[in-house]
A and B are shown apart, each in its own frame.
Chain A
Amino acid sequence: MSIEGWDITALGTGRALPVVTAPEPVLSRVGEPVDPTDPQIVALAADLVATMAVSPGCVGLAAPQVGVSVQLFAVDVTGHPKAATLHGAFVLANAVIVEASRWRPGREGCMSVPDLTGDVKRAGRIVVTGELPGSGRKVTITTDAFEARALQHEIDHCNGLLFLDKVSGAHAIYQRKVYL
């Protein structure tokens, strides 16, 4: 499945940026809405894609994770064993979840919280609206399984939330020893 009107190459080539880690305050600030046609935002979108590409095992990256408090994130769960519906690699601005159902638990980690993982309930099926960087075109994405989890995790980042804010219990946080 592909997103109508989306061409990742139109973003141009980005630079890989350093990823910030908690307790960096930017990770806990609500990101500002953006103009998806702003060349600076298009460049940031390209940077997110480039940063994701150099981070092993990374399936999503939000602007606050590179220190920019705005509503923009990149996702690519292609090839992940838990993925079902796939939209490939894409970047979304000002994304909002408009429908969420089939809640189920799962264990998550985050590049910005490198030493911990935690159990978090996420919707297994969601409908998300947002805007494509570059064209500014409004899109509605319906997805499920792992792509749905990844989108919820990244949209949380854009709203200043980490998985730590949603962990399902006092004993649902784990020390992470294994890196990809």
Chain B
Amino acid sequence: MTDVHGAELAVTVIGPDRTGIVADVAEALARLGANLTDSTMTRLRGHFAMTLICTAQASATEVEAALLPLSADGQLLVTVRDVGPDEPPHNGGLPYLLSVHGADRLGIVAAVTRVVADAGGNVTDLSTRLVGPLYLLVAEVDLPEGVPGELTKRLAHVADELGVEVNLRPAGADVL
């Protein structure tokens, strides 16, 4: 629900995974009348991480206070802050999917995303996983028209230096 009902707040919650974290946080927000809009929640190794935007009449301080009991045992780290209602920038790009995998080493994400940024690409979603010796990065990237060909070459070069495999492909959807 896009809304005129109150300010937008950004909430992050992270802590050791256990059952009921999402329900606890969502209930606390609902009791305050805070409407959870966009969110992403996932397990990162043993930790559960929530990043969400909610709209609320309550202030950031009030929402933080309401979530305080959740962090009382020192397990969950909760932050709340005001964010502007600004729309994300539209660069008019086309959606691509980027995957990188190989032996773990320092700086893979930095090197790869720098090449993307230098090409005018905008990362809209990104996940990384380290499983044993294998490192994996998957990103959704919006690229300006005409860029993918050149970017593919530059990524191949960086991948060579890092000793990883890289793959960039269109992620456009078919409207049915």
Contact = CB atoms under 8 A, between A and B. Distances in A.
A150 B140 contact: no
Interface stretch (B25-33, B72-80, B167-175): B167-175
B8 interface: no
A107 B174 contact: yes
A171 to B, nearest CB: 7
Q: Give the bracket for the number of chain B residues in contact with chain A.
A: 10 to 19
B176 A176 contact: no
Contact of B175 (A109, A170, A174, A175): A109
Contacts of B127: 171
A102 B174 CA distance: 19
Classify the interface of chain A: helix, strand, loop or mixed.
mixed
B173 A171 contact: no
Contacts of B42: 170-171
A175 B124 contact: yes
Contact of B94 (A60, A80, A106, A178): A178
Contacts of A180: 175
B78 to A, nearest CB: 22
Contact of A109 (B94, B124, B125, B174): B174
Contacts of A108: 173-176
A150 B92 CA distance: 27
Contacts of A109: 173-176
Nearest to A110: B176
A58 B175 contact: yes
A150 B176 contact: yes
B171 A107 contact: yes
Interface string B18-38: 000000000000000000000
A111 interface: yes
Residue of B94, B95, B127 ringed by the most chain A CB atoms within 10 A: B95
Contacts of B153: none
A39 interface: no
A126 interface: no
A84 B92 CA distance: 30
Given A174-B95, A174-B140, A177-B142, A149 B124 contact: no
B176 A154 contact: yes
A58 B124 CA distance: 26
Contact of B174 (A146, A171, A175): A146
A154 B176 CA distance: 8
A167 B140 CA distance: 17
A76 B88 CA distance: 35
A22 to B, nearest CB: 13
A106 B125 contact: no
Contact of A176 (B40, B92, B93, B173): B173
A118 B140 CA distance: 13
Interface in A142-180: 146, 149-150, 153-154, 163, 170-171, 174-178, 180
- Pairs A-B, 4 closest by C-beta atoms: A117-B173, A107-B173, A153-B176, A109-B175
Interface of A: 57-60, 80, 82, 106-111, 117-118, 146, 149-150, 153-154, 163, 170-171, 174-178, 180
